[in-house]
Structures are given as C-alpha cells and as structure tokens.
Amino acid sequence: MGIYYDTGNPLSETNDVIFNIDERRISKYIQMAETFAVELTLSRSFDGLYLFSFLLWLQTVILRDGFLKGKLSLRKTFLFFFKALRIERRLSVKRRLVWEFKMNFKKFLMLRYLLP
C-alpha cells in the first residue's frame, strides 16, 4: 500500500503549493523530510514508506515544478535533488527495493510526464 498524490486536478489543494514553488519552500520540504527521517521509526514499514513516498513527491516537485518551470537553476536542482537522495538512503536498502518495485509504475508515469 502506498500514498498516491494526484497532481492532475487543478483544483487540488496540493497544486496550489506545487505550482507556486520556490527555493524557500523546497528548503522547507527538505527540512521536513530530515525531521521525518529523525522522528519516524524507520524500522516500521509504514513510517519508512511514508518517508519514501514523501521523498518521491519532493523529487517530482524539484524536477517538474522547480526546474522545468524555470524556478530553479540546474545547480540548485541538483543540490536539492541530492539532498533528498541522501535522506532516502537512510532507509533500509531491502525495503527501498520492495517499495521501488511496488511504486515503479508511478515513477514511470512521472518520468513520462516530465520528459518530452
């Protein structure tokens, strides 16, 4: 079971934040992910999956709404993206692989949306 973020609805509450993204907001999301990584019990499956799903969403926001919309430079995009990846690496490799497999279709859809 995973968390699904529907960004196709223009009236969605999350789209208000997503489409108005800037460096300050992304920095706050990175801080939130770091806080989650510290405060959640990552050995519990749901907590780890929650963090993993949040990081997947954050990576999408960085690429789609930051870089592709011209609000982040290439340098800042890499900086934020790698910070998110470093947090993701705190999760167990075994669990990340299972979640990656389960969420692979979602990533495929995300990349299909991002790439021309």
Render each residue's pLDDT in the chain as its tens digit; 116 residues.
Answer: 445 445 555 555 555 455 578 899 999 999 999 998 888 887 777 788 888 888 888 998 898 888 888 899 999 999 999 999 999 888 888 887 777 777 666 665 665 666 55
Burial class from Cβ neighbours inside 10 Å (0-12, 13-18, 19+) for residue 47 reads middle
pTM assigned to the model: 0.70
Which residues, including other chains, have CB under 8 Å from residue 25's CB and lie 6 or more apart?
17
